[in-house]
Amino acid sequence: MWLNPEEVLLKNALKLWVTERSNDFFLLQRRRGHGEPTGRITGLLVGALDTVLDSNARVTPFRILLQIPGSQTSWVIASGVAIEEVNKHWDWLLHNLLHSLSVFENKEDVASFVKGKVKGLIAEEVRGRQAAQEDDPAKFREALLKFELHFGLPSSEKLVTFYSCCCWKGRVPRQGFLYLSINHLSFYSFLLGKEVKFVIPWAEVTRLERVSTGLMTDAIRVSTRQRQREFSMFLNLDEAFGVIGQLADIALRRLLDSEGLELDRVLQQPARITKRILEEQALREYVLALFRLPRAEKLHEVASCSVWTPHARCHTAGTLYTTDSYLCFSSREEGHCVLLLPLSEILSIEKAESTSLLPNPVIVSVRTKKAFQLIELQDRDELVENLNSRLRALQWKQSMFRSRKDGKRSMSNPTPYYTFYYDTGYSDEEEIEEQVLRNTVNSEALMTAFHHNQPGSNGNKSVEQMKEQLWEEHFSEFGRGVHMFRTEKTQRLVAMGIPESLRGELWMTLSDASSELESHRGYYASLVQKAMGQSSLATDEIERDLHRSLPDHPAFQNPTGIAALRRVLTAYAHRNPKIGYCQSMNILASVLLLYAKEEEAFWLLVAVCERMLPDYFNRRVIGAQVDQSVFEELITERLPELADRVPDLSTLSSVSLSWFLTLFLSVLPFHSAVCVVDCFFFHGIRAIFQLGLAVLEANAEELSSSTDDGQALMILTGFLDQVGGEQLSGVPSSSPAASDSSSDADILAVRHTNITDLINESYEKFGDLTVRQIERLRCGHRIRVLQAHEDNAKENALRVVTSEISISPEVLADIYDLFKTEHFISLYWGDRSSAAAAEAAAWHYSGAGRSYLERLYRLDRPQFKSLYGLLVPWPAGSNQHADTLANRTFTLLDQERNNLVTFREFAGWLDILYCGELNEKIRLLYRLHIPPALTESEDDPSLMKSPLLSTSRPLYVNLPSDAEGEVKDYQEQLKQMLQDLAKEKERDVEKPLPLMNQREFIQFCKTLYGMFHADPEESDLFQAIATVTSLVLQIGEVGHRAAGSVPGAGGQMGGNDAGSEGSADDEWTVSYAQILASLLTEQALVNFFETPLDLSAKIAEAKEKQYHQRAGLLTLQQGTR
C-alpha cells in the first residue's frame, strides 16, 4: 500500500534490507531474512531485532524508497506483505512517474513532486474506486470546502467527484486535484510555492481524448477552442475518463440541444447528479442500447446468473438486467446468447428448491406455456419480490384497461365497420377505437397483394422454402416470439435473408414492436382519426414525398399503398411532433408496409425512430452525424491502410450518410437492401457499422487511388449497385442509385457480389465491434458534433452582423462568446424558471412555416444589465441612475418588444459606443432619454403624477400589474402602434427624433456627468457640460416663450389632460440638433467623445470579471428568496 512519505536517514542501516530492483529515483527492497532459506543466522537476527525494536512486532517485508541522486536521505513511499502487491506499485511508478522526473532541473524538486503525488494517491485510495459523496462523506466534504474556497463558484455549482492527478504545463507536470462539477472542470495545484488553478466550462469542451506521448504514458486531453489541457497519473484513468466524458456529454446535451436530444429526467435536474447516478446512467444507457428498449425504461436490478439454454443443453452464464417492463439476459460474451422477456408475456416468477447443482433457482413462466430457469442468483428473495411486485402492478393495469374497454363495448353501436383503406367520416372517437379493436385493420402486408415480381423469381421459390424450413427448425429449438433465444445460429439465419413469409413477424419479434402493439391496442386507430384531415408543415412534406417512396414498386403505384403510407407517416408525425416528419422516413416506412400489416408497420417505425436510431430523426439529424463521426474513427482503427491513403475521411463518411439514414435502402438493390434491414432488426446499428466497414474494405484499393470525391462516390455506387442475392444474379437493379450510374461501363463491369457473403464477411472481420464500444464512441463524438453546430451558429450570427458594423471580426467573435457565456451562466446558476426561459429564448424559428429551428442566443433584462456593466465605456457604478440607464438601453434595443435582445442588436449598440462618430453617440444618448426608452413607471412603481405624454412622438407605457385589467383595451389600442415602431427600426436613423422636454433634458445632463466621473479631464468636462447645460436651457426657454406667444400654440403643444402641473414642462422642449450643436461648442466634450476606445481591452477585462460578478449576483438573488 502507499504510505505517507517517511524520511529514512540511513537507507540501508545495519544492512537490514536487500535491494531487489532499482533505478535513479526508486528502490524496491526486501527485508533481510524474508524469503531466504530458514536457519540462516542473518535472518534469525533480523527477525529477533524486529520483535524487540518494533512495538507492533510487524514489519512489512517489502518496501519502496524514493531516493535523490547524490543524497543520503530517502523516503519510504510504499510497503507490502507480498511481492506481488509491491510490484504493482513499482510498475505504476515506472509507467506513470519515472519518465516525468527527468524534466526537473533541480533534483530537490523531485522529492516534493513525488511526495505530493503519493499523498494524492493515498487520498484517492482511501476514498476507494467508488469515491462518491455517499461513500465517504467526510472526505467529500473536505474536497467540497476546498472546491468552494479555491474557485468561488455559487453553492448551486454541485461538485460531483474529484481526482488526484497531474496537469501538464509544457513539459512540466503540476500535481493537484481535478474537480468535476455539473457545469465545469476545475483544477487546483499548489506546489513549490506556485499556485495553478483554472476552470473550464463543459460548454467550451470541443474534444476529449486519451493520448500517449513520451512523457505521458497515458493521459486525458481536454480541448477547447482556445487551448488543450493534458491530465495524467490518475489512480484509475479509465474511470476518470468515463466520468469526464459523461459529464461533458450531459452538460452539452442540456445546454446546447435541450430541444432536440433526449435526456433522462434525472439528468435534467443537475442538482441531483452524483457519481453513483452517473455510473447507473452509463449502465442504463448500455442496457437500453444492447436490448434496444424504450428510452423511458428504468434499470432496477443487475444480477449475475446462469440461464438454462435447451439448445445447448447447459446453463449459460451471464447477467440479468431488470427494468420497468422487461427481464433481459445477456451472456458474458456480448451477443453470444440474448434473451428478452417482456413482463406483459410473463405469467409467474417463482422460487424453486435450491440444490447443490441448482443453487438459488428461479422459474419464469410465460404465456406460451414455456418456462425459463435461472440459477446462481444472489439476493434471490429480494429480486423475486421486486419482480413480482412490478408484475402484479402491470397485470392490474391490464385488467383495468380491459374492464374499461368492456364498458365501452356495452355502450357502443356495433354496426359500423371501420377500415383504413378509404377516407370516411366518423362521429365518435370511442366508437372508432372499439371498431378497430374488433376488426382487423389491413390484415395483410402490401407485399401479399402487390408482389414485386422479378425475372427468374419462380426458380427462387425453392430457396424461400428452404429458408422457411430452416427457420421452422430454429423455432422448435430456440423458441418463437419475442422470448426466443438469440444466438450465433440466429445470426447466421438472419444473414441468409429472412424468408418473405416470416419477415414481418420476425421484424416485430426482433425489435419487440410486438409488445408495444399488444399493450397499445387501438392507439394507432385513434392517432389516424385525430391526424387525418389536419394540415401542418409535416403533412405538406409527407404529401410531397409520398410518390417518391419506392416508385418502382407496384404497391406504391396504387392508391391503396399510397394511402397506407400517408396514414402511417401522418400518425407518427401526430404522435411525436418533436420529430414530425424527416426525409428518409418515407423510404423506411414503405419497406415496413410491404412486409408488415399497417398497424405493425407503424410500431416498427416507432421502434426505429425512438429506440433503434435515437436522435436520428430530430430537426438537426444529430444522431446520424454522431454516427458518421464514429464511423470515421472506426475507419481509422479498423482500416488503417485506407485511412493513411485517404487524407480526408469526411468524404467517405458523407457518402455513407445515406447508408445510415435509410439502412442501405437507397443505395442497394431492393432485395439486397431488405436483407440489410433484417440484420439491422437483429443487431441494431452495429450491423450498419459492420457492413459499412466491409463495403469500404472491399473497395479499399480503388478508393486509395481515387483523385476526388466524385470518383470515390462512383466507385462505391458502382459496387453497391451490383450487390445481389442468389435470386437476383443478372437482374437489373431497382434501387434509385442504379439508374444514376448505369451508363458507366467500367462500373458495370465489376464482378457481382452476393449480399449474404458480404454480410457474413462483415461479421467475420468486424464482428468484434460491441454495443459498449459504440456507446462509448458516441459519447465522445456527440461532443464534437454539437460543438460543430455551435460553430456554425456562431459563423451565421457573425456573418449577418459583420457587414453592418465597424468592429473587427476577431473582436466581434469575442463579443459573441461573452454574449453566449452570459446565457449559459443563467442556465448554470439561475433558478429553474429563469433557466427554462433562457433556454427557450435561445431557439428561433426560421421561415414563414416555422420549418427550421436555429440556435439564436438572446438575453433578457438581467443578463443584458450584467453585460452592460462589463462593457459600457464609461463608469457603470451601482448607483440608481446607472441602473436606470441600463434599463433604458435594454428597452431601446428590444425593438421586437419581447423582453429579449438579440446579438445583432447588442453588437450594433457596442459599435456605436466604441466605433461610432460623435453625432451617433450623442444620438444614442438622446434616444435613451425619450420614449420608448424612457417609460412612465421608471422612477415610481405607481403611475407618475406628472406623466410625460406628448402628441409629437410615439407612445410607450409600462403599466403596473394591478392596472393591467382596467386598461386592457387601451393596451390593445397601443399594440399596433408598437408594432409599427418595431417595423421602422431600419429607418429609425433617418427620420427626425422627437423633441425632448425639460425633465428629460435634466436626466440627459445627469447621464453626462456620470460618464465623466474619474476621467483624467474630469474638471474640464464638468465645466464644459455646465456651460452646455446653461446654453440649452436658455434655448429651450426662448422656444417656450415663443410658443406661448403664438395663439393656439399651447393647445397644440400640450393638448392633453395632464393638468396644470405638467403643462409648463410639456411645452418646454429642445431638439436633438440643438443639443448636438451646443455640445460641439465645447472642445473638451468633442475630444471626450472622439477619443478612440479600446474595446479589446474592455472585453479581456470583462472575461475576467464576468463569472464572479454574475455568480455573486445570482447567489444574492437565491439567498433573498
pLDDT tens digits along 774-786: 999 999 999 999 9
Average pLDDT over residues 421-435: 39
Confidence of residue 1108 (pLDDT cuts 50, 70, 90): confident
Confidence of residue 332 (pLDDT cuts 50, 70, 90): confident
DSSP β-ladder status, 852-855 and 858-859: unpaired
In a 3-state reduction of DSSP, which class is residue 859?
A: strand
Prediction pTM value: 0.77
| Largest Cα–Cα separation, the chain | 131
Q: How far apart are CA 537 and CA 84, in angstroms?
A: 68
Is 1072's pLDDT higher than 70? yes
Is 917's pLDDT higher than 70? yes
Is 951's pLDDT higher than 80? no
Q: In this predicted structure, what is the pLDDT of residue 129? A: 42
Average pLDDT over residues 906-915: 94
Q: In this predicted structure, what is the pLDDT of residue 36? A: 64
Confidence of residue 449 (pLDDT cuts 50, 70, 90): confident
Mean pLDDT (the chain) is 79
Confidence of residue 438 (pLDDT cuts 50, 70, 90): very low
Is 736's pLDDT higher than 90? no
Is 178's pLDDT higher than 90? yes
Average pLDDT over residues 605-612: 93
Q: In this predicted structure, what is the pLDDT of residue 578? A: 83
Question: Among 936, 912, 939, which residue's Cα sits nearest to residue 925?
Answer: 912
pLDDT, greater one: 838 or 916:
916
322's enclosing H/E stretch is strand 314-323
Residue 125, C-alpha cell as written in the block: 485510495
pLDDT, greater one: 401 or 331:
331
Confidence of residue 426 (pLDDT cuts 50, 70, 90): very low
Is 176's pLDDT higher than 80? yes
Kindly give the residue spans of alpha helices, DSSP state H, lying in 894-940. 903-915, 918-927
In a 3-state reduction of DSSP, which class is residue 219?
A: strand
CA dihedral 769, 772, 776, 779 (to 10 degrees): 110
Is 772's pLDDT higher than 80? yes
Average pLDDT over residues 66-71: 82
506's enclosing H/E stretch is helix 500-511
Q: How far apart are CA 280 and CA 289, in angstroms?
A: 14
Is 247's pLDDT higher than 70? yes
Residue 67, C-alpha cell as written in the block: 531516493
Q: How far apart are CA 340 and CA 329, in angstroms?
A: 7
Confidence of residue 747 (pLDDT cuts 50, 70, 90): very low
Q: In this predicted structure, what is the pLDDT of residue 387? A: 94
Confidence of residue 904 (pLDDT cuts 50, 70, 90): very high
| Model confidence pLDDT, tens digit, residues 266-286 | 777 787 888 888 999 999 999
**Cα radius of gyration (the chain):** 37
Cα–Cα separations (whole angstroms), residue 543 to 8, 534, 547, 604: 84, 12, 8, 21
Average pLDDT over residues 513-529: 88
Residue with cell 445570482: 1114
Q: In this predicted structure, what is the pLDDT of residue 326? A: 94
Is 728's pLDDT higher than 70? no
Is 969's pLDDT higher than 50? no
**Burial, 298: exposed, middle or buried (Cβ in 10 Å; 0-12, 13-18, 19+)?**
middle
Phi and psi at residue 303, to the nearest 5°? -145, 135
Highest mean pLDDT among 127-136, 208-217, 348-357, 487-496: 487-496
Is 730's pLDDT higher than 70? no
Is 1019's pLDDT higher than 50? yes
Q: How far apart are CA 1121 and CA 1119, in angstroms?
A: 6
One DSSP character per residue, 961-1024 reads: GGGTTTTHHHHHHHHHHHHHHHHTTTTTTTSPPPPEEHHHHHHHHHHHHHHHTT-TTHHHHHHH
Is 563's pLDDT higher than 70? yes
**Burial, 507: exposed, middle or buried (Cβ in 10 Å; 0-12, 13-18, 19+)?**
buried
Q: In this predicted structure, what is the pLDDT of residue 937? A: 61
Is 766's pLDDT higher than 90? yes
Q: In this predicted structure, what is the pLDDT of residue 436? A: 39
Is 925's pLDDT higher than 60? yes
